[in-house]
Chain A
């Protein structure tokens, strides 16, 4: 009848585990390995990471080598000079795609790594020491949370519009990286803080402290492992988020800077030419962006499901 909803929640504890021990991580790993969508996602992400790291494996052309006479050539297919065509300035699209992967992905990895480190450290300090340390950090989290990431990025990066920073791989992403990290750490901090608070009350932590373990040791060996799992599940989705945000910023001219090329910039330029019949200029970078973002989100979602026993 209408009771299809009485779920298994009330069952656990009534029927003890019938099988042998199944730890959470081994369960997680097993369920991840089985899912076809996860496997596809991993392949896609790995592919684009390789493209970003070694663009020259995929194209011999220099994206900056643009001959105006060769502009707006439609895709010619693989094996030709311009497999994906050229843009209005005569630059090879495939080369741009390959080289453009790096700023987008590098920015995302840098931002997320830095945010995670910052967030985890602050979260642990706040949760472990409480008192005024927690007061300051929690307040800071609150304040930064109020300001939406995109808005802060819009404001701060607009102010830097006329500043040029250099042309190396890290230079072009420096400004957006700093701004996005500054407003990206709060979630991890809150999460870790809550984990620390929970773990502090556990008996084995009290025991460790009674045995004279130093604060740092307790934090790293006992508390951190518990908090890290769920935080890991957040990482792929966060990376996807930064890639998307970079595209928006590039669209407005305040992301990765020309003359460096990124997918965001390609999308921004390409969107102007769709109606002119050159849809490929928009579609190629868009598809790459979408594929990467979708795969990362699938991964993040799968990780989260795998690591959260209640959601089965």
Chain B
């Protein structure tokens, strides 16, 4: 109301000004057009062509897509792994982040130290984290053999990353270690700005700790949950580096993700057009899941904001 009144007399002038404002955004738009839109368009072109090295040879229409969707068992497995891993990451990271935030928020002293300890892995590179955990999972001197022998068990040769059943979840643990603190920090900041009166009131009415969490903290933190679920989904569907460092997709494709499959197919097998078709399928999945999650989550987040 007030805004529109003060702006009225400026309307005429503002027209020219928004051209000026646009100029400030122009560099970003140009860079995005050249280094994002163009590669995207070229990627689309690549994906419908046969390739020789990195050169296009012949137009093949949707053949590459058909091959990926109907005839490539490794790609199917990679797709399933990526989706399962992402689902698990969303639930576990958000859950653990929230759990840590609630606990840390209650701590009287040492909150900054705890925050540092849990958040620190986030600033480490995925390669460094991957390398550290790869060694942590090593036989003979890794965590399992060390703890095992301390307990008197014969676990010297246990190597989770070499075991097709455990490798993916071993990577998940490293992933959680790296990202849970990030989620914790986002939640913690929000918890600390929640109105104290709600809790005092609920406590007076005799609500227990869990009830207060369920009826106050959880619903009021929905905007954060919304953001974190979306970020984790987008960030995990693309997962490449940690997997690449720790297993390169092995053993026997057990930890192959779409991104590692794309990399291997393009840069090792030099099936460039085909690899790009797989990448485009991944992009479509990211888009679709983002839109679906946004639709579902936004409805509830809106209610909290109002």
Real complex partners, A and B? no
Q: Which residues of B contact A (CB under 8 A)?
A: none
Chain A residues close to B by CB (< 8 Å): none
